[in-house]
A and B are shown apart, each in its own frame.
Chain A
């Protein structure tokens, strides 16, 4: 069990509205600062990355999961444990490639876009939740798994569901010697 004495174990609950509004204000401010959607997306991804590289330790400490032996286990872990722990939703995982290294997480409820009805007309290609992609990418990188994470479908852009695609990039050497903790 990983339980450090100095750390409160009661999962501080803050208001969900506050979190969603904070994220919204962040995206709105980035939109004001940068004109191009690609810039905003890139910065959101970068911010997510720096969150992810720190969040992974918190996640591993709190969830005490075993080492994942395959990419599909990793994807399942992200969907069922990590998303549940941090966002309270459980996306469904599907494997979308024969080689077994491309997965997609399908979110039917995304709490971050609770109050956003649709993207403003001049921001049609904004990936509103790109922070999540950066978080996943950063977290995976810290456990020695390089991956590309992008949004494949986005409800805000008119698609039916929100789909995040994770593509694990195979490293040449085997993962035998990797230790998570």
Chain B
């Protein structure tokens, strides 16, 4: 279960950030922000061939003492960053991949909405529901 999920636009500003324990929100925002550097590093290291599904998923970006940060980049350079609690039973790679895939599918649904302008913040109820289902139940 994720603790924080963020969707970052191509220009590296957040389109959507949601974290579950809402009192430490700023810390998660900071974590996501710093993870963007790692994302950029991985993208440039991979080179131009970003066609395969496997290469969209960046894997573990870096572990901190409490959390692990995973990244995923789409072909349109929109990044999904997920912060997962380390104390939680180690989530298998496949589960993280499937969570990212669901995120990606929901994101494409939002993009298809004719009233959504690419680059706007995401205010969709369906997306919120999907993200909620992936977040940890704290209370």
Contacts and interface: CB of A to CB of B under 8 A. Distances in A.
A and B: bona fide binding partners = yes
Interface string A91-109: 0000000000000000000
A115 B125 contact: no
Contact of B114 (A17, A116, A118): A116
B115 interface: yes
A17 B111 CA distance: 12
Interface in B121-136: 124-126
Interface in A1-39: 17, 20-21, 23-25, 27-28, 31
Interface residues of B, number: 8
Nearest to B112: A115
Contacts of A24: 112-115
B114 A21 contact: yes
A20 B112 CA distance: 9
Nearest to A17: B112
B109 interface: yes
A78 B126 CA distance: 33
Nearest to A126: B115
Chain A interface main SS type? helix
B112 A28 contact: no
Contacts of B115: 24, 28, 31, 116, 119-120, 123
A174 interface: no
Interface residues of A, number: 17
A63 B21 CA distance: 60
Nearest to A115: B112
A117 B113 contact: yes
B79 to A, nearest CB: 23
Contact of B124 (A21, A31, A117, A123): A117
A117 B114 contact: no
A127 B113 CA distance: 16
Q: Which of A17, A116, A119, A123 has the most CB of B within 10 A?
A: A116
Interface of A: 17, 20-21, 23-25, 27-28, 31, 114-120, 123
Given A17-B112, A117-B113, 16 more contacts: A21-B112, A21-B114, A24-B113, A24-B115, A27-B114, A28-B114, A31-B115, A114-B112, A115-B114, A116-B113, A116-B114, A117-B124, A118-B125, A119-B115, A120-B115, A123-B115
13 contacts: A17-B112, A21-B112, A21-B114, A23-B114, A24-B112, A24-B114, A27-B114, A28-B114, A31-B115, A114-B112, A117-B113, A117-B125, A117-B126
